[in-house]
């Protein structure tokens, strides 16, 4: 299908983007890589009056070191996130999960922040952001603010971003030395995950000192598997301990049934994938 008619404006700075969105009203949308937005436009599931292009905003592109965190610009391409040395050293979970996003072509066009701002619970990066303790830098008509990943995702395809807000960057606490893994199940290559699990583990003297686990597509928003984390911390880093902890993977989840999978199937797969992800993150398999 052909998208509905819309106006186009290119922003030169973050403040410029906020101003343009304000002028365009509630139906304005931010355009970066367009890999989530363009399909919606073509299907006429979205009909914005104005698209504000932020690809020329330097502040929103690239990765930088910020002391105890690294900062990824929202308009940074997936492919650049995957290959970045800082990301691979201090946020390897992000690099591994981003490598599974769609296909090579999409990763060279789509943006890190665009995927997160889209807020699809079947997307790979929201659960990773929650498990990583990410903080979102947001600019709006009232100025700049920071939103924790746990508060950013509000409901299905709904985030804390207002109609005039711009996601500028994502801040990730440094986790050097942590073992990480992203495990997902999809029926065909490049498809959305039926279920995905993001796992990060810090081992100390043969025990699991810290753990973070996020679930993809197990509810309307990404879910932190706090029960699994609590069961892991303090335990020996063994297959048995991880298997027991993974049994708590579906606590607090609300998976849906659709043409791809039933809720019962997703519940079963979540436990299986959680075990696999944590075993790999702990370096046991």
In which residue ranges of the chain is CATH 3.30.43.10 found? 7-53
Query: According to the model, what pLDDT value does residue 129 have?
Result: 98
| Diameter of the chain measured on Cα atoms | 61
Q: Tokens representing 116?
A: 């997160």
Write down the CATH number for the domain with range 7-53: 3.30.43.10
> Within 13 Å and on the Cβ side, how many CA atoms surround 30?
35
Which pLDDT tens digit goes with each residue over 111-128?
A: 999 999 999 999 999 999
User: Is the per-residue pLDDT at 25 higher than 80?
Assistant: yes
Give domain 65-173's CATH architecture: 2-Layer Sandwich (3.30)
- Rounded to 10 deg, the angle between the 239-246 and 263-281 helix axes is 150
Q: Is CATH 3.20.20.70 correct for 179-281?
A: no
273 pLDDT band (50/70/90 cuts)? very high
CA distance linking residue 37 with residue 30, whole number of Å: 9
26 pLDDT band (50/70/90 cuts)? confident
In which residue ranges of the chain is CATH 3.30.465.10 found? 65-173
* CB neighbour class for 94 (10 Å; exposed up to 12, middle 13-18, buried from 19): buried
Out of 174-178, 186-190, 248-252, 266-270, which region has the weakest mean confidence (pLDDT)?
Answer: 186-190
Q: What angle (nearest 5°) sits at the alpha carbon of residue 149, between those of residues 148 and 152?
A: 90
Note whether 90 and 176 are within 8 A (CB): yes
In which residue ranges of the chain is CATH 3.30.390.50 found? 179-281
Average pLDDT on 129-147 reads 98
Which pLDDT tens digit goes with each residue over 191-203?
A: 889 999 999 999 9
């Amino acid at each position: 299908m052909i998208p509905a008619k819309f106006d186009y404006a290119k922003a030169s700075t973050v403040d410029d983007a906020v101003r343009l969105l304000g002028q365009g009203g509630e139906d304005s949308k931010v355009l970066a890589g367009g890999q989530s937005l363009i399909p919606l436009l073509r299907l006429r599931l979205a009909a914005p009056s104005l698209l504000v292009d932020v690809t020329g905003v330097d502040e929103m592109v690239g990765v930088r070191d910020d002391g105890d965190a690294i900062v990824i610009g929202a308009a940074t391409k997936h492919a650049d996130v995957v290959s970045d040395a800082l990301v691979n050293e201090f946020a390897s979970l992000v690099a591994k999960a981003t490598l599974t996003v769609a296909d090579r072509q999409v990763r060279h066009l789509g943006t890190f922040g665009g995927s997160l701002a889209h807020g699809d619970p079947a997307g790979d990066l929201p659960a990773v952001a929650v498990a990583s303790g990410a903080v979102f830098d947001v600019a709006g008509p009232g100025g700049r603010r920071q939103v924790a990943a746990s508060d950013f995702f509000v409901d299905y395809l709904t985030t804390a971003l207002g109609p005039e807000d711009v996601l500028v960057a994502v801040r990730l606490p440094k986790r050097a030395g942590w073992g990480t893994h992203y495990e997902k199940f999809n029926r065909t290559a490049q498809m959305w995950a039926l279920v995905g699990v993001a796992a990060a583990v810090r081992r100390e003297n043969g025990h699991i000192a810290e753990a973070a686990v996020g679930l993809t597509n197990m509810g309307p928003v990404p879910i932190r598997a706090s029960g699994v984390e609590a069961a892991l911390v303090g335990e020996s880093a063994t297959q048995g301990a991880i298997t027991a902890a993974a049994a708590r993977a579906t606590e607090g989840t609300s998976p849906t049934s659709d043409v791809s999978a039933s809720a019962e199937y997703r519940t079963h797969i979540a436990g299986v994938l959680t075990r696999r992800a944590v075993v790999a993150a702990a370096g046991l398999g």
